[in-house]
Amino acid sequence: MNKALTAALRKIIIFPVTLLTMGISINTGLAQKSNLNSNLNNLYSPIPLPSSTELSDTLSDKDIPTGQGGFARDYTVKLNKGDNLAIDLSSENFDGMITLLAPDGSTVGENDDGPDGTSNSLLFTRITENGNYIIRVRSFGETGVGEFKLKVTKLQPVK
């Protein structure tokens, strides 16, 4: 009788304890995954472009490393199909590059040096789909950091 009672108690105690342990492990794993996602979202959060679409800002070594020795700063902007844009980047502190990224992450356009012969950038493009786009300001290679001006102009079609 003692053996039967001992075996029954083991089943009654071990099974719930095992389930409880599994539940704690799963909850801990979910909490860690949630914290990881939260940390990743905090690591990358592009800056919303102000409604004026013109700003002065500073590129620093705290921004996104490009892997080429320079840094980048991203801005989000909502664009509509058919928008014609001029994106102008100027800086006296670094050789600037401008990149426009589509909602799917593909490159819509990129410019290193503007038509005026300086190291400023000027990009003209037409938008082919509605969505939130990324305007990436970066320094060319290891050219540095510093203050810059970014201007996004929606061009009006000629009538």
Reported as a single tens digit per residue, the pLDDT across 93-141 is 888 999 999 999 999 999 987 677 778 899 999 999 999 999 999 988 7
* Cα–chain center distance at 70: 17
For 50, the token pair is 């102000």
Task: Say if residues 64 and 72 touch (Cβ distance below 8 Å).
Answer: yes
pLDDT at 28: 44
- What's the rounded mean pLDDT across residues 1-27? 56
Query: Largest Cα–Cα distance of the chain, in whole Å?
Result: 99
Per DSSP, 105 falls in state S
* Every domain of the chain and the residues it spans: 1-43, 47-155
Q: Is the whole-model pTM more than 0.85? A: no
User: Over 60: is that where the pLDDT of 70 sits?
Assistant: yes
pLDDT at 67: 83
Query: What does the alpha-carbon distance between residue 141 and residue 41 come to, in Å, rounded to a whole number?
Result: 26
Task: Say if residues 115 and 80 touch (Cβ distance below 8 Å).
Answer: no
Dihedral (CA of 107, 142, 71, 148) sign: negative
Query: What does the alpha-carbon distance between residue 55 and residue 6 come to, in Å, rounded to a whole number?
Result: 76
* Cα 96-154-135 angle, rounded to 5 deg: 35
Kindly provide the b/e burial profile for residues 81-105, where b requires at least 16 CB atoms within 10 angstroms of the residue's own CB: eebebebbbbbeebbbbbbbbbeee
| Residue 119 CA: distances (Å) to CA of 53, 62, 82 | 21, 22, 29
**In 3-state terms, the chain is what percent helix, strand and coil (to 5)?**
25, 40, 35
Domain covering 47-155 in this structure, CATH number: 2.60.120.380
